[in-house]
């Protein structure tokens, strides 16, 4: 199978994630969409590594996974404190500073 | 041809079953040579990370009452030692003649990198003083407290929080978090491949997200700003990462020099993609997405939406640090990306950056006029300043680089000082940041108001302040680089911006103080030192900028 198809899939996943960030209102879902975008990047990296025949892209995918894990730790900590003080994780409720 | 390529590809991660173990071992040792790390040249970064880890151990093993002193001492000593290491490297010639690429191509040690690292370390040192300030808030149950929450995880207003306040808890974790962020920022402008760029971006962003959520007063606002900063920051780094993937797909390498060679045509495209017509799309879209990720960090319009909310909600010492140091680090990375990786594409990216610079200057200045909160006002002013710095970036000349370096150094101290002044003006609810509350401040506390006026004049770019010298340098470089319309728009938006800075000065000095207005807290030498240093740098860079302009122009050559 032509590996370029995996690139189309990666672009599609990235777009779905990006659209989710824009339109979903729950902070956790928004965060999951960001993770989907990161995974789309990983798929693209691995596919390009296969196309180019070098390992840089595969190494990059490992780093992305580690960074994504660190991001989950920080992100869930922030979202959980936010939820506990408001009993809602909706990003629409975050409007204390609107002019 | 195809079968040969396929076989060579697979031989990278598989080995034939009948090959002898000895032969496989030999080929492995040629594929993976031990990396050569130049520890001395990376010492500023290593010192900062080492001290940050020590700070984590302090949190784990020292009793609570001794942590504050230990953390503050460690941070100050570590940052000063790292700054000394940067100065030693620069004096050794790494900024000019001996500049080269260290750590197997991952980190560049050259003039711009060392200049920006020095700036970031000085900014962080001053920021550590404002983080440690403990005389502004009234003592809670007999113990002095700083601007950070007693316990970050406690729900605001809950019994748990009351108990934490009563026990005199303070969040001394902010110092290691500050140091981790500084470590990432030191690597960011020096990153010489896209992997280092992405990892250092996350290393400095993640601690900042946490720091934003830790305000002692207005905790709901603070948590809200952290959520916004985190979600938008994670989104922007995902965009940057996809751009990195596309650039890697285009060039087959993530090193800056390797990509630049492919862009210039001096290295061949990989055979897998040479016959495809989509390679230009990979380059253009990938480059654009990486630049968007960086423009988000420098808060350029239209990627500035997070700035006012995050600057307003975050604890003010953190805002000052973020506004100053993040901008320095992100502009350093942007400069290196555009000048080292994509100079072959400058006819494509210059018009786009022109547009972004114009939008950023004009929108930053105009929206600032309508603001009624001091922190939001300073946020929009920082957006406008990002536009002025971008004018220097589009110059595409050594003068452009050196003017941007100088501007960043000048601007970061003004910002840090201005936010430090904001922490002083207080009422019963904490900081009084609404502009109407600042009316008549000059009558009541002439010194504080005068210092703030100096900062505002520097933001406005009035002669004899560092803001004028910086603006003059970037606009001169932009005009010589052929961007005269940009300069004209820049001067006009400076004039608009000057209007609201002067308006605040008039409000402070020429209106009657209202009864029940805020009082000005008497700070400890920590904050006074930070503010005094800011004023000194502002005036010295304004009156006698030549030495520092020379320093910046000696540091304007990127290594490749």
ipTM of the complex: 0.97
Indicate the residue of B223, B235, B272 with minimum beta-carbon distance to A81: B223
Taking only residues 375 to 414 of chain B, the set having a beta carbon closer than 8 angstroms to any beta carbon of chain A reads 376
Kindly indicate the confidence band of residue B35, based on its pLDDT and cuts at 50, 70 and 90.
Answer: confident
Predicted confidence (pLDDT) per residue in B463-507, tens digit? 999 999 999 999 999 999 989 999 999 999 999 999 989 999 999
Kindly indicate the confidence band of residue B10, based on its pLDDT and cuts at 50, 70 and 90.
Answer: low
Give the residue carrying structure tokens 């840089």. Answer: A56
Question: Cβ of B238 under 8 Å from any chain A Cβ?
Answer: yes
Tally Cβ neighbours within 10 Å of residue B218: 21
CB contact under 8 A, A97 and B209: no
Rounded Cα gap, residues B238 and B131, in angstroms: 30
Provide the shortest C-alpha distance from residue B195 to chain A (in Å): 7
Name the closest residue on chain A to residue B373, using Cα atoms.
A99
Q: Is the pLDDT of residue B87 over 80?
A: yes
Q: Which residues contact B390 (CB under 8 A, 6 or more apart)?
A: B298, B300, B353, B356, B357, B360
User: Where along chain B do its domains lie?
Assistant: 36-554
Kindly indicate the confidence band of residue B275, based on its pLDDT and cuts at 50, 70 and 90.
Answer: low
User: Where along chain A do its domains lie?
Assistant: 26-86
Indicate the residue of A7, A27, A44 with minimum beta-carbon distance to B231: A27
More confident residue, B22 or A36: A36
Predicted confidence (pLDDT) per residue in B412-454, tens digit? 999 999 999 999 999 888 889 999 899 999 988 999 999 999 9
Provide the shortest C-alpha distance from residue A41 to chain B (in Å): 5
Share of chain B above pLDDT 90, in %: 73
Task: Suggest the residue from A9, A49, A52, A76 to mutate for an interface test with chain B (most B CBs closer than 10 A).
Answer: A52
More confident residue, B266 or A58: A58
Cβ–Cβ < 8 Å for B347, B413 = no
Structure tokens at B417: 């000082």
- Yes or no: domain A26-86 corresponds to CATH 2.60.40.2130: no
Structure tokens at B224: 């809200």
Task: Suggest the residue from A21, A60, A61, A83 to mutate for an interface test with chain B (most B CBs closer than 10 A).
Answer: A60
Mean pLDDT over residues B395-399, rounded? 90
Q: Give CA angle at B423 (B420, B427), nearest 5°.
A: 160
Which residues of chain B does A1 touch, with a Cβ-Cβ cutoff of 8 Å?
A: none
Provide the shortest C-alpha distance from residue A55 to chain B (in Å): 8
Name the closest residue on chain A to residue B250, using Cα atoms.
A48
Residue B516 φ/ψ region, left for φ over 0, alpha for ψ in the -120 to 50 degree band, beta for the rest: left
Name the closest residue on chain A to residue B243, using Cα atoms.
A41
Q: What's the pTM value of the predicted model, to 2 decimals?
A: 0.93
Provide the shortest C-alpha distance from residue A99 to chain B (in Å): 8
Kindly indicate the confidence band of residue B23, based on its pLDDT and cuts at 50, 70 and 90.
Answer: very low
Name the closest residue on chain B to residue A89, using Cα atoms.
B227
Q: What is the DSSP letter of B218?
A: S
Provide the shortest C-alpha distance from residue B396 to chain A (in Å): 30
Rounded Cα gap, residues B142 and B119, in angstroms: 38
Provide the shortest C-alpha distance from residue B321 to chain A (in Å): 20
Which residues of chain A does B435 touch, with a Cβ-Cβ cutoff of 8 Å?
A: none
Name the closest residue on chain B to residue A48, using Cα atoms.
B249
> % helix / strand / coil in chain B, to the nearest 5?
70, 5, 25
More confident residue, B3 or A82: A82
Which residues of chain B does A81 touch, with a Cβ-Cβ cutoff of 8 Å?
A: 152-153, 155, 213, 223
Residue B371 φ/ψ region, left for φ over 0, alpha for ψ in the -120 to 50 degree band, beta for the rest: beta
Average pLDDT, rounded, for chain A:
93
CB contact under 8 A, B152 and A81: yes
Per DSSP, the three-state class of B140 is strand
Q: Is the pLDDT of residue B25 over 60?
A: no
CB contact under 8 A, B225 and A77: no
Question: Considering all CA atoms of chain B, what is the largest pairwise distance in Å, rounded to the nearest integer?
Answer: 92
Q: Which residues contact B121 (CB under 8 A, 6 or more apart)?
A: B44, B48, B79, B82, B83, B86, B182, B186
Question: Cβ of B181 under 8 Å from any chain A Cβ?
Answer: no
Question: Cβ of B215 under 8 Å from any chain A Cβ?
Answer: no
CB contact under 8 A, A97 and B206: no
Kindly indicate the confidence band of residue B276, based on its pLDDT and cuts at 50, 70 and 90.
Answer: low
């Amino acid at each position: 199978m032509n590996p370029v198809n995996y690139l189309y899939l990666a672009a599609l996943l990235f777009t779905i994630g990006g659209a989710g960030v824009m339109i979903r209102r729950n902070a956790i879902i928004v965060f999951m969409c960001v993770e989907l975008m990161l995974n789309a990047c990983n798929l693209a990296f691995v596919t390009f590594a296969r196309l180019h025949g070098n390992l840089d892209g595969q190494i990059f995918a490992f780093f992305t996974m580690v960074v994504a894990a660190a991001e989950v730790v920080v992100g869930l900590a922030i979202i959980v404190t936010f939820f506990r003080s408001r009993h809602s994780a909706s990003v629409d409720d975050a409007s204390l500073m609107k002019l | 041809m195809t079968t040969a390529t396929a076989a060579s590809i697979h031989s990278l991660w598989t080995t034939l079953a009948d090959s002898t173990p000895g032969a496989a071992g030999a080929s492995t040792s040629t594929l993976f040579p031990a990396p050569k790390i130049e520890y001395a040249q990376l010492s500023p970064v290593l010192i900062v990370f080492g001290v940050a880890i020590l700070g984590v151990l302090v949190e784990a093993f020292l009793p609570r009452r001794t942590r504050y002193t230990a953390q503050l001492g460690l941070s100050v000593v570590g940052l000063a030692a790292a700054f000394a290491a940067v100065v030693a490297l620069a004096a050794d010639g790494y900024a000019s003649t001996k500049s080269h690429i260290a750590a197997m191509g991952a980190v560049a040690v050259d003039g711009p990198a060392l200049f920006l690292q020095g700036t970031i370390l000085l900014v962080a040192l001053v920021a550590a003083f404002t983080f440690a300030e403990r005389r502004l808030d009234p003592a809670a149950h007999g113990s002095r407290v700083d601007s950070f929450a007693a316990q970050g995880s406690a729900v605001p207003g809950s019994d748990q929080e009351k108990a934490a306040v009563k026990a005199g808890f303070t969040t001394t974790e902010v110092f290691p978090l500050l140091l981790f962020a500084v470590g990432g920022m030191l690597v960011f402008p020096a990153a010489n491949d896209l992997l280092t760029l992405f990892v250092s971006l996350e290393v400095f962003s993640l601690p900042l997200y946490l720091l934003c959520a830790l305000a002692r007063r207005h905790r709901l606002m603070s948590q809200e700003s952290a959520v916004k900063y985190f979600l938008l920051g994670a989104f922007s780094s995902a965009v940057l990462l996809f751009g990195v993937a596309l650039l890697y797909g285009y060039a087959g390498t993530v090193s800056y020099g390797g990509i630049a060679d492919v862009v210039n045509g001096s290295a061949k495209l990989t055979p897998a993609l040479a016959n495809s017509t989509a390679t230009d799309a990979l380059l253009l879209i990938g480059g654009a997405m990486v630049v968007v990720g960086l423009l988000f960090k420098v808060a350029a319009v239209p990627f500035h939406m997070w700035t006012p909310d995050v600057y307003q909600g975050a604890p003010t010492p953190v805002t000052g640090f973020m506004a100053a140091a993040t901008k320095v680090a992100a502009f350093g990375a942007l400069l290196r990306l555009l000048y080292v990786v994509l100079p072959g594409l400058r006819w494509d990216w210059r018009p786009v950056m022109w547009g972004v610079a114009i939008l950023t200057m004009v929108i930053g200045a105009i929206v600032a006029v309508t603001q009624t909160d001091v922190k939001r006002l300073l946020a929009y002013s920082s957006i406008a300043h990002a536009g002025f710095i971008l004018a220097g970036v589009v110059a595409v000349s050594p003068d452009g680089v050196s003017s941007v370096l100088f501007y960043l150094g000048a601007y970061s101290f003004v910002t840090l000082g201005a936010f430090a002044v904001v922490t002083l003006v207080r009422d019963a609810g904490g900081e009084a940041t609404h502009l109407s509350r600042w009316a008549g401040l000059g009558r009541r506390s002439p010194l504080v108001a005068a210092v703030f006026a100096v900062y505002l004049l520097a933001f406005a770019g009035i002669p004899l302040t560092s803001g004028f010298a910086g603006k003059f340098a970037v606009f001169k470089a932009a005009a010589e680089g052929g961007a005269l319309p940009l300069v004209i728009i820049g001067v006009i938006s400076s004039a608009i911006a000057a209007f609201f800075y002067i308006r605040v000065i008039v409000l402070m000095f020429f209106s009657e103080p209202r009864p029940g207005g805020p009082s000005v807290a008497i700070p400890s030498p920590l904050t006074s030192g930070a503010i005094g240093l800011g004023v000194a740098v502002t005036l010295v860079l304004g009156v006698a900028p030549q030495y520092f302009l020379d320093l910046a122009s000696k540091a304007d050559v990127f290594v490749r």
